[in-house]
């Protein structure tokens, strides 16, 4: 059984399917405590709204009749028995699965186990303002492929500079999709645009969180 903080049908606010409808499964529990986390309510067990089995989660996904599925949290990849869920999702070729992971968990083994092609990993790289950069798993920088994405959440100019160095050092933009995502209210998107122009940062996308533009930033389940 999985502890689920919330499940809902909405649009993807960011990432490769931004603007498209998606079924969201938000798992309870995270192994990091980012300073700017906007889903801190999912950290503790008190946030568990319901307990669902693999079959119940899969049935909910299918009932929504939505191709896109986003597994998020918290941290999906630290959940007990997550492989059982990924196995059944990986078999359903009608689904496009995005796993939003915080960057501390090595995705390599998961990619080897569940490799039929409908699962993509949206990997965060936590930058200095997050206060948890030391926990980033550097193996992921070499494990990502063209269906995956790296998301750099930037809250300061220092964050931008570090992100740029990592993108260049690991040739990331030629391995996977790369996004610069602003911490809501901490750095202006136009600052990021000017930085990208100055650095001639090709094949990197600025993204804003659409759900925070459409709805109030504190609204949940959207």
pLDDT tens, position by position, 117-150: 899 999 999 999 999 999 999 999 999 999 999 9
- What residues contact residue 163 under an 8 Å CB cut-off, 6+ apart? 125, 127, 152, 154, 180
**Can you give the CATH number for the domain in which 30 is found?**
3.20.20.70
**Which of left, alpha, beta for 74 (phi over 0: left; psi -120 to 50: alpha)?**
left
Give the per-residue pLDDT at 208: 81
Domain presence at residue 171 = yes
For 171, the domain range is 2-214
CA–CA distance, 121 with 204 (Å, rounded to integer):
17
pLDDT-based confidence at residue 63 (cuts at 50, 70, 90): very high
**pLDDT of 11 above 80:** yes
Across the chain, what does the average pLDDT equal?
Answer: 92
| Number of domain units in the chain | 1
What's the predicted TM-score (pTM) here?
Answer: 0.91
Model confidence pLDDT, tens digit, residues 195-218 = 999 999 999 999 886 766 776 666
Domain presence at residue 219 = no
152: three-class secondary structure by DSSP: strand
Domain presence at residue 221 = no
Count the Cβ atoms, other than its own, within 10 Å of residue 19. Answer: 10
């Amino acid at each position: 059984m999985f502890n689920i903080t919330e499940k809902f049908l909405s649009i993807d606010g960011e990432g490769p399917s931004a603007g498209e409808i998606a079924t969201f499964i938000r798992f309870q529990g995270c192994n990091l405590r980012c300073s700017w986390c906007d889903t801190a309510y999912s950290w503790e067990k008190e946030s568990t709204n319901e307990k669902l089995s693999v079959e119940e989660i899969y049935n909910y996904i299918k009932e929504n009749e939505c191709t896109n599925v986003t597994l998020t949290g918290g941290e999906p990849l630290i959940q007990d028995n997550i492989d059982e869920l990924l196995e059944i999702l990986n078999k359903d070729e009608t689904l496009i699965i995005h796993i939003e992971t915080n960057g501390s968990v090595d995705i390599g083994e998961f990619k080897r186990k569940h490799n039929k092609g409908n699962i993509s990993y949206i990997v965060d790289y936590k930058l200095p303002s997050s206060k948890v950069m030391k926990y980033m798993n550097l193996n992921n920088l070499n494990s990502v492929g063209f269906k995956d994405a790296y998301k750099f959440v930037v809250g300061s100019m220092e964050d931008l500079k570090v992100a740029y160095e990592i993108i260049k050092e690991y040739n990331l933009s030629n391995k996977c999709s790369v996004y610069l995502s602003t911490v809501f209210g901490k750095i202006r998107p136009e600052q990021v645009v000017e930085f990208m122009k100055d650095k001639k940062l090709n094949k990197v996308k600025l993204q804003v969180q659409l759900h925070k533009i459409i709805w109030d930033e504190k609204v949940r389940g959207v």
